[in-house]
A and B are shown apart, each in its own frame.
Chain A
Amino acid sequence: MKSIEIVCDNLSKIYSGKVIFKNLSLKLTTGNSISILGKNGSGKSTLIKILSGIISANKGSITVSEDNIPVPANLCYSRIGLISPYLNLYDELTASENLRFFCGLRNNSNDGMEEKIEFYLNRVKLFDKRNETVKNYSSGMKQKLKLIFAVINQPRILYMDEPSTNLDTEGIDIVYETAEKHKKNGILIVATNDKEDIKLCESSLNIEDYK
């Protein structure tokens, strides 16, 4: 498997004149895991959004490389996974339709897609509810579906923003098991203040040090 690396160089984000963070640099490679800490509203989620490419930074750069070769932005989709409270799937579609849609967008071919969807739905015990529209799901079930959305593509970089929110103990165990497995061959970045979530990572970064 190719080694993966993410390098952030002097990232700064300013919202309406307020500095969220400035000059934040970071370098992570295969097997690294880091927790991003900070009070509520300190900018943890903003950093995750910038790292995952949802929004852009005001200053600085992010480079994702495989075997030291930079990966173009349009090829990063299949390498990134995100679990977060501000990401929702389509309520009016079923779990299977949602997963088929997003897998289709991220991959060139549909080979093995149905098997993967079935495997992950079984793993989080949603297989029996696969043909129900997501609007009928509880918040915990939606969170489990979002976990599948994040990992079904076997991403090399997994971002988790408050990953245990809304989950029952069984769901939390699945998240932790997924994170532990992922760490071996990829990069794990967790934004949290939960003590158990922090234990998933080998190092930490306090965003308030970059104000």
Chain B
Amino acid sequence: MLLKNSYLVFKKDLSSELRTRYVINSLLMFVLVTISIIRFAIGDERADNEILTGLLWIAVFFTSVSGLSRTFVKEEEKETSVALKLSTGSDSVILGKLIFNMVLTFSLNALILLLFVIITDYQIKNLPGFLIVLVFGNLGLVSASTIIAAIISKANSKGTLYPVLSFPVLLPLLITVINATKLASLGVETDKLFGEIQILISYFIVVTVASLMLFKYVWED
């Protein structure tokens, strides 16, 4: 029942989004503007991988921050959350939204990476290691962003509260993931990134479990 209802929530969010394209369109514009600004700032020069990795994660972080909060905020603003509360348990809702946010984030980040590599001539010397780090970094980012989105959807000043709440929660993840992607892009072998990957996996598991346990209280009041 949990998996079936989570799938239904995910499917509903995906159909709504594909129909309205509210989040997708605004995020695509955000990605294009960010990447263009980076291109204009760098000009014809080739920046170091240390700087480019930082710029890449600025684009990834702010795209996620501006897009992922919409899933819960929309339910509260349009007063559809009551119908959801009357129809299924909180576990299905958080799991469904988490899957939707993952699909959205992975799709957008694939696009960001592609554009970023083309525009900035970003060299990735250890591609498998880089992708592993990117996948686990994104999983943690989505997991933390989703529960924070649920919390701020109840508040009046949603726009301001989201970055304020998400920054301290995401800081350990960002430090680790920026460092690991930088090392992978410079060609450090995957087995030497194992420590960072372990931290990213642990972060994802801890935040997801905490989200599943806490969401009931956020959702019900």
Segment touching A, from B33-41, B80-88, B172-180: B80-88
B17 smallest CB distance to A (angstroms): 9
A89 touches B80 (CB 8 A): yes
Q: Is A88 an interface residue (CB 8 A)?
A: yes
A92 touches B20 (CB 8 A): yes
Q: Is A1 an interface residue (CB 8 A)?
A: no
Of B16, B80, B82, B88, which is within 8 A of A54 by CB? B82
In the complex formed, the residue of A with least CB distance to B80 is A88
A104–B16 alpha-carbon span in the complex (Å): 17
B79-120 CB contacts (< 8 Å) to partner A: 79-80, 82-89, 92
Of B8, B16, B83, which is within 8 A of A87 by CB? B83
Residues of A within 8 A of B79 (CB): 86-88
Q: Is B15 an interface residue (CB 8 A)?
A: yes
In the complex formed, the residue of A with least CB distance to B85 is A54
Q: Is A82 an interface residue (CB 8 A)?
A: yes
- Asked whether A82 and B86 contact (CB < 8 A) given A88-B78, A105-B5, the answer is yes
Q: Is B191 an interface residue (CB 8 A)?
A: no
Residues of A within 8 A of B4 (CB): 104
A55 touches B88 (CB 8 A): no
Q: Is A106 an interface residue (CB 8 A)?
A: yes
Residues of A within 8 A of B46 (CB): none
Of B83, B84, B85, which is within 8 A of A53 by CB? B85
A56–B221 alpha-carbon span in the complex (Å): 7
B1-51 CB contacts (< 8 Å) to partner A: 1, 4-5, 8-9, 12, 15-16, 19-20
A92–B15 alpha-carbon span in the complex (Å): 9
Q: Is A149 an interface residue (CB 8 A)?
A: yes
A53-90 CB contacts (< 8 Å) to partner B: 53-56, 74, 77, 80, 82, 84, 86-90
Main secondary structure of the interface of B (DSSP, over half): helix
Residues of B within 8 A of A133 (CB): 19
A105 touches B16 (CB 8 A): no
A86-134 CB contacts (< 8 Å) to partner B: 86-93, 97, 101-102, 104-106, 108, 133
A53–B83 alpha-carbon span in the complex (Å): 11
B118 smallest CB distance to A (angstroms): 34
A52–B85 alpha-carbon span in the complex (Å): 9
B83 touches A89 (CB 8 A): yes
Residues of A within 8 A of B220 (CB): 55-56
Residues 210-221 of chain B: 1 if any A CB is under 8 Å from the residue's CB, otherwise 0?
A: 000000000011
A97 touches B87 (CB 8 A): no
B88 touches A77 (CB 8 A): yes
Q: Which of B1, B85, B87 has the most CB of A within 10 A?
A: B87
A149 touches B12 (CB 8 A): no
B16 touches A84 (CB 8 A): no
Residues 31-74 of chain B: 1 if any A CB is under 8 Å from the residue's CB, otherwise 0?
A: 00000000000000000000000000000000000000000000
- Known contacts A92-B16, A92-B20, A105-B9; 17 additional CB pairs below 8 A are A53-B86, A54-B82, A54-B86, A55-B221, A56-B220, A56-B221, A77-B89, A84-B82, A86-B82, A88-B78, A88-B83, A89-B83, A97-B15, A101-B8, A105-B88, A106-B87, A149-B83
Q: List 20 A-B contacts (CB under 8 A).
A: A53-B85, A86-B82, A87-B79, A88-B78, A88-B79, A88-B80, A88-B83, A89-B80, A90-B78, A90-B80, A93-B12, A97-B15, A101-B8, A102-B83, A102-B87, A104-B4, A105-B5, A105-B9, A106-B87, A133-B19
Question: Nearest 7 A-B pairs (CB), nearest first?
Answer: A105-B87, A87-B82, A105-B88, A88-B79, A92-B16, A92-B19, A104-B8
B contact set with A: CB distance below 8 Å: 1, 4-5, 8-9, 12, 15-16, 19-20, 78-80, 82-89, 92, 220-221
